[in-house]
Amino acid sequence: MKEDPQQKDRLFAKKMLPGDFVFDDQVASVFEDMINRSVPGYSTIIAMIGVLAENYCQEGSKIYDLGCSLGGATLAAVDKVSCEDYRAIAIDNSPAMIERLQTKLSGLPQYASRIECRCEDLLDSEISDASVVVLNFTLQFIPLAARDVLLTRIYEGMRPSAVLIISEKISFPDEKLNALFIEMYHGFKETMGYSKLEISQKRAALEKVLLPETLDVHRQRLSNIGFSSVDVWFQCFNFASMVAFK
């Protein structure tokens, strides 16, 4: 079975009725184009996830990519890790994403032998013996009330000295700064070829399903759970990636 070719993202190019953003087959078919044109520094984040996994993967442990979509972070990690004995677990609740990832892996046997794909709700996922856990633009889609529960379960399933990598769209407590970074971000999207209509309609679709928080909220939550050495390693506009150690 051949991998479905990724298409250019034009999902919001035509005027449409309001509706929430869903990770369905339509989104999966354009996701690589969408994410690379929508998240500043995305390719850098993916590459550095590979480097972090290389540095912190422990023998006999597991690497988790939670909310893996098409497996970009999973593949970056497996490509770099030199451990002899480990497993990568790629989890997403979108059947369309998991099906496409499995199709991709069928053509990459050198990676497929290391990677287990699971289609399930992260809130039901078992995390165990983890040395690297990735939440790459995933936590922002988890209900606010469930985020502490999920991160506590992740913490409990991690080995000592394991690393957690969280990439998120963020908000700012200062209204002027928040407005500035949103304006700059929309300008970035226009330079990537999105029209004002596309930007407006996608923003409306995400409004109720993507719920950003401030960096201070993220840091405090992780510290309260027990993580140490929590901080940002990458930020561009209102997007950031953090590391936290158990």
On the question of pLDDT at 5 being above 70, the answer is no
CA distance 30 to 9: 5
Q: How many CB atoms lie within 10 A of CB 73?
A: 31
Question: What pLDDT digit, counting tens, does each position of 123-167 carry?
Answer: 999 999 999 999 999 999 999 999 999 999 999 999 999 999 999
Gyration radius (Cα) of the chain, Å: 18
Paired tokens of 168: 């998120």
Calculate what percentage of the chain has a pLDDT beyond 70.
94
CATH architecture of the domain with range 42-171+209-245: 3-Layer(aba) Sandwich (3.40)
pTM of the model: 0.93
Question: What pLDDT digit, counting tens, does each position of 60-108 carry?
Answer: 999 999 999 999 999 999 999 999 999 999 999 999 999 999 999 999 9
On the question of pLDDT at 17 being above 60, the answer is no
